[in-house]
Amino acid sequence: MGQSTPIRRPPVLVIEDEPVLRLDALDTVEAAGFEPVEAMDVDHAIHLLETRPDIRVVYMDLDMPRGVRGIEIAARIRDRWPPIEMILTAASFAREELTLPARAVFFPKPVSRPDIVATMRRMAAARD
């Protein structure tokens, strides 16, 4: 995380508490040319968003194990940081069951890696 590179890579925050999925998501983000920022859980993610105002793209798993509804966290992030773009994924919901925050994009698990990467690139490009 946070290595200095000649070309500034836009950061993408990965909020995923399933270790294997997080590891793979971080790799995906990195391979796509972004700076992967890793959050193990929601509290950690909020802390990172507070201290890293440069984070504009969030990739988040809505399947939260400890009684927190991921979609509520996503809505709170949207309210608190309106410019942030969100890519959401879940195994426990279908797209029609969710009221997504504005501009958020949802991919049900298992996700398609190229779709995720394309969406991240589009979001990062729109922001610039």
Partner 1 sequence: MAANQAVGGAGRPDATHASGLPGRLRVLIVARERGAAARFGGAALAVLATAMAQLVLFASSAPWFLYTPTVVIVTLALGADAGVLATVLAAIGAGYAVVRPDAAILMMPVHWIASVIFVLTTLGLVGLVRALKIALREADALRAARDRDATLAAEREAFLSGVLSASTDCIKVLELDGSLSFMSEGGLKVMEIGDFNDVRGCPWPDFMRDAASAQAREALAAARQGRTSHFESDIDTYLGNSKHWSVSVSPITGADGTVARILSVSRDHTSLARAREQAQLLNGELAHRLKNTLGVVQAIAHQTLGRGGDLEAGLAAFGERLAALASAHDVLSAGSWARAEMADVVHKVLATFDDHGRVAVAGPALMLGPRATLSLSLLLHELATNATKYGAFSVPGGRVALDWQVDGASGDVRMTWAERGGPPAVEPTRRGFGSRIIRMGLTGAGGTTLRYGDEGLTVDLFASADQLRQA
The Cα-based distances of 39 to 2, 96, 125 in angstroms read 14, 27, 23
Return d(Cα 6, Cα 74) in angstroms, integer.
Answer: 32
Q: Is 121 in the site for partner 1 (CB under 8 A)?
A: no
Strand partners, 86: 58
Q: Is 1 in the site for partner 1 (CB under 8 A)?
A: no
Candidate residues 66, 96, 99, 125; the one interacting with partner 1 per rule CB under 8 A: 66
| DSSP 8-state assignment for residue 96 | G
CB of 5 to partner 1, least distance (A): 19
Q: Is 103 in the site for partner 1 (CB under 8 A)?
A: no
Q: Which residues are at the interface with partner 1 (CB under 8 A)?
A: 17-25, 27-28, 40, 63, 65-66, 89, 91-92, 108-111, 113
